[in-house]
Structure formats: C-alpha cells, structure tokens
Amino acid sequence: MVIVTWNEREVISRCLPPLIRQLKPTDELIVSDNGSEDGTLDVVRELAPQAIVIENGANLGFMDGCNRGAERATRELLVLLNPDTVVAPGWADAMRRPAEDGRGWAAWQALVTMDGGTRINTSGGIVHFTGISWAGRMGDPLIPGAVPRGEVGFVSGASMAIRLADWNRLGGMPGYYFLYHDDVELTLRLRLEGGVVGVEPDALVDHEYEFSRRGVKWRVLERNRWATVLRTYPGPLLALLMPGLIATELGILAIALRAGWGRDKLLAMGDTLRRLPRVLRERRAIQRGRTVSSAEFARHLTPDLTSPYLGGAAESAPLHIALRGYWSLVVALLKLLDGPRRKAEV
C-alpha cells in the first residue's frame, strides 16, 4: 500500500489509525513523502513505526510519488490511498476481494464518500469522448446498496488497487503529469489490453474532497487531458474525433476567457504543444500493446456531459443532441473500420 504525502500532518493523523487497525502483519505500508516541512513524517513514524518511509526530498507530484513508492513494493497487490481519506471498517478486506474471488478485474476502486460518509464522492469515474472526465454520482446521498458492484469508466486514484505485476508492466504513471488525470490515463491503458476496471462498493472510504477552481488546476487538467487522449486513443478513433476535439478546444477556450482562467488555458495549450514529441513517442509504444478494437475501446466512453461542474454545457439540450449524433456516427464508422482489421487478423 502506497500513500503519497506533501505537508499532510493533520490529515495523515486521521488517516493512519483506522487504516493500521485493518492491516495484516504481512501487509506493507509505504509512505512516499514529497519533501514535507510540517512534521508529516514525525506523525507517520509515531503512528506507523512499521511503515516504509521514502523521503523524496522535493515535491515530485502525485504520480512520481506513487512511482517511487511502488518501486519499494513487494506484495502481489498494490493499493494507492490518498492521505486525506479515512477508511471505514472492512475496507481492507473488501479491497482484497476482487483479487481473490476470480472476477478478473485489472484494477478497481473503493466506493469513495465525502462529508463524513453521508454523500458519494465518486462511484466510479466517467470519461467523455473528448477526454473530459469526472466523478460519477458526485454529491448523491449515500444510500446502502445504491451503488452496484461492477464496471466503471475509470477508477479513482483516491483508493485504487492494481496487481503490482500489471503496474510494473505498464511502467506506472506518467510522472510528468504531476497531478490530475493519472487514474484516467492508467485506466485507459488497461482498457487497450482488454482489462476490466470496477468499483467494489463494500470498500468504503471517506475523502476530504473539495473541488478547486483555481486556474492552475484547469491548466494541469487540460494539458493532461490532451496527453491522455493522444497517448491512449486508438488511431481510427482519434482521427474520427479530431474535428470534435478541435471544436471542444475552441469552446473551452471561450469558456475559460469568460470565466477568468483564459491565461491558464492558453498555457495548457502551450504545454501540450511542447510535450507533443514526447507524447507521440510514448503513444507509439502504448499502441503497440493494444489488443482490443477501436470500437471496443470506445464502448467505455460517453457522449453525455453530465458533470455538475460543467455548468451550462451539462444542461444544454441542443449540445446534448449534437454530441449524441456525432458520437453515433463515430461509433458506426469505427465498426466499419474494425471489420477489415478483424478479417486481416483471421
């Protein structure tokens, strides 16, 4: 188990006690610290003296913090947990269950709650075909049995599990993302190989969640969204979506200018262009491992913009109709394009 910290003294003091009570003697607890200066590691060493502590010496970001922690992991199952979470009783056993009962999932998440366990933070992520992604059922009241066990669009990095062998084979997370979209990117790479990702609702964990609208967050989200789309989308899908992606880019820029984070959107566009050679190089390596058709990969994307954080876009009926129509055309063309590919493989 890996927890990444950066000046997390208060939240880690709440996170560790209920977690430690659920760990088995054979479990590993790894804390990968990104240069905390507030006494975070003093709390860790006091509350969890058995923990493996990695002192990175600087803020490497969440992704590379996870990568550094996973390098020290030796157990079959790798679990990532945010420091600003509190696990409910039975969380650990429930997180182990998908690895033990033969359901064949490639990765999975807990049911993440917020507001003291009264509302859902995410029941599983949702990925729009533009790469815009959000937490499923965010803000809904937590009702027992309301979230079924099953497949999701992407697994939340707040509390996720993946076999260490799969993590190592994929090379972990792209460290240069720094923060945000890591869970989406990892999920989509697993999907390229036919992997199934799901939510285990018996594993409950409460997250001290607050959505920040600071421009810097939008900058990082936007540049990582583009990197994820360019790295993971199969070629036929990417080609058919490019007109929609360009139109979305212009629309988001207009929204950003009106909302006051236009500068950060422009910086994100610049970041995307600077990263492009690296992203395309990585894309070639990633796509060589693809085993599913473009249509099968696309099956897990949605044309509907339903996030509560998208404002008017989520409520626009004309936009809803246009997106569904465009997506229907893309899916139909993908099936036609995949036909010759399947015949060639036979």
What confidence score (pLDDT) does residue 338 get? 80
Residues 6+ apart with CB under 8 A from 294: 234, 235, 236, 237, 334, 337, 338
CA–CA distance, 22 with 88 (Å, rounded to integer): 10
Token digits of residue 61: 């970001």
Write the CA distances from 89 to 92, 112, 155, integer angstroms.
8, 14, 21
What confidence score (pLDDT) does residue 346 get? 30
SS3 80: strand
What confidence score (pLDDT) does residue 339 get? 67
SS3 37: coil
Instruction: Tell me the pLDDT of the chain (346 aa) as tens digits.
Output: 999 999 999 999 999 999 999 999 999 999 999 999 999 999 999 999 999 999 999 999 999 999 999 999 999 999 999 999 999 999 999 999 999 999 999 999 999 999 999 999 999 999 999 999 999 999 999 998 889 999 999 999 999 999 999 999 999 999 999 999 999 999 999 999 999 999 999 999 999 987 654 458 899 999 999 999 999 999 999 999 999 999 999 989 998 999 899 999 999 999 999 999 999 999 999 999 999 999 999 999 999 988 777 766 666 788 889 999 999 999 999 999 886 554 444 3
Domains of the chain by residue range: 2-207, 215-345
Amino acid present at 109? Q
CA–CA distance, 301 with 127 (Å, rounded to integer): 5
What confidence score (pLDDT) does residue 316 get? 77
Do 198 and 94 touch, CB atoms closer than 8 A? no
Report the C-alpha dihedral over residues 133, 188, 158, 171, rounded to 10 degrees.
-140
What confidence score (pLDDT) does residue 313 get? 65
Burial class (CB in 10 A: 0-12, 13-18, 19+), 202: middle
- The correct CATH number of 2-207 out of 3.40.50.1010, 3.50.50.60, 3.40.1190.20, 3.90.550.10 is 3.90.550.10
Burial class (CB in 10 A: 0-12, 13-18, 19+), 98: buried
